[in-house]
Copies of this chain bind each other. A is one copy, B any other.
């Protein structure tokens, strides 16, 4: 961390900054220029994170030099990407995994029909929500435990790993009985108590980027999970909030190559929620794969017109295989090989 002092900072103010740096166990390195004095704070991230010098007397600017995350940093593994094997399916490095299924588990036929279509079409994992975060308290909130039981049945029947969302820490044990990957939604990205519990559970986590979270904040949220000893975190870009009103969210595909540079963790893209419209899901998926994503999580429904939730953004189950073939072609441009179920 570099502290830029104001041009008129007094010796006492400089001394105070140096003392603060020492007090957290870091070392200060002073560099006096003609106009300003710079003070470097050298030490472990955990120590430097305790410095709060923004706006301290005489301080003009605090410039982070090292990244505040370390377990999620690409430096941890010397630039090598992590490859995770989840119930036999690989994701990360050169392995690309397609995760597909309904937004919400609605009924046995709906789930099983979708599961069959996405497995046959080339998906590596099955997604489906039992607990649904909804903006309106009056909207359908998911089937809850009944939904988890249906997911367990689909897992048994089709042998696909299950990705499902957790919202309430009190539901953790029930979710762990069926989930191979636990999804944390965008609105819970900074629900730190939930992240820490998942860290302790050891289950692979798909962590969605918050609606206005910077990439650094996403990596810091991952750090909450990793810090508890859980190494398997999948980062997920799902659209951010911008001024544009022509779509629900703005899918930020620059996040894909940049996250892969900053971190060793695999990067997954969710085109369905960003778009909110089926006709955009294809182009955005091909773009995400061509940009180098390690996976895509996409919504599929056997009969989107009758879906309880987010039907308009679901791909039709009978068109899934063609879609998956195009994603595979696009992933190949980025040097990726498809992980099949």
* A residues neighboring B (CB under 8 Å): 2, 4, 7, 16, 29, 31, 33-36, 38, 40, 42, 45-46, 49-50, 52-57, 61, 63, 65-66, 68, 75, 133-140, 167-170, 187-188, 190-193, 196, 210-212, 214-217, 220, 223-224, 227, 240-247, 250-258, 261-262, 274-280, 283-284, 286-292, 305, 307-313, 326, 329-330, 333-334
CB distance from A3 to the nearest CB of B (A): 11
- Chain B contacts for A289, CB-based, 8 A: 290
- Chain B contacts for A292, CB-based, 8 A: 283
A244 CB contact (under 8 Å) in B54, B61, B215, B280: B215
Q: CA A57 – CA B311 in complex, angstroms? A: 11
Judging by beta carbons under 8 Å apart, are B291 and A286 in contact? yes
Judging by beta carbons under 8 Å apart, are A245 and B245 in contact? yes
A241 CB contact (under 8 Å) in B243, B257, B333: B243
A252 CB contact (under 8 Å) in B55, B214, B244, B305: B244
- Chain B contacts for A4, CB-based, 8 A: 65
A-B contact pairs, 27 of them (CB 8 A): A16-B305, A31-B38, A31-B40, A55-B278, A55-B312, A55-B313, A136-B220, A137-B196, A167-B192, A168-B193, A170-B170, A170-B193, A187-B190, A188-B190, A191-B191, A241-B241, A242-B243, A244-B252, A244-B255, A250-B252, A251-B253, A253-B284, A286-B333, A287-B291, A290-B290, A326-B333, A333-B333
* Closest Cβ neighbor of A134 among chain B residues: B192
Judging by beta carbons under 8 Å apart, are B35 and A29 in contact? no
In the complex with contacts A52-B312, A57-B305, A212-B243 CB distance below 8 A: yes
Judging by beta carbons under 8 Å apart, are A257 and B242 in contact? no
* Closest Cβ neighbor of A226 among chain B residues: B137
- Chain B contacts for A134, CB-based, 8 A: 192
Q: CA A190 – CA B167 in complex, angstroms? A: 10
Judging by beta carbons under 8 Å apart, are B223 and A55 in contact? no
- Chain B contacts for A170, CB-based, 8 A: 169-170, 193
Judging by beta carbons under 8 Å apart, are A283 and B312 in contact? no
Judging by beta carbons under 8 Å apart, are B290 and A137 in contact? no
Among all A-B residue pairs, the 9 with the closest Cβ atoms: A55-B312, A212-B212, A187-B190, A287-B287, A287-B291, A286-B290, A168-B193, A290-B290, A49-B138
Q: CA A34 – CA B43 in complex, angstroms? A: 10
CB distance from A45 to the nearest CB of B (A): 6
A211 CB contact (under 8 Å) in B46, B212, B283: B212
* Closest Cβ neighbor of A259 among chain B residues: B246
Judging by beta carbons under 8 Å apart, are A247 and B258 in contact? yes
Judging by beta carbons under 8 Å apart, are A223 and B187 in contact? no
Judging by beta carbons under 8 Å apart, are B244 and A214 in contact? yes
A243 CB contact (under 8 Å) in B196, B214, B253, B255: B214
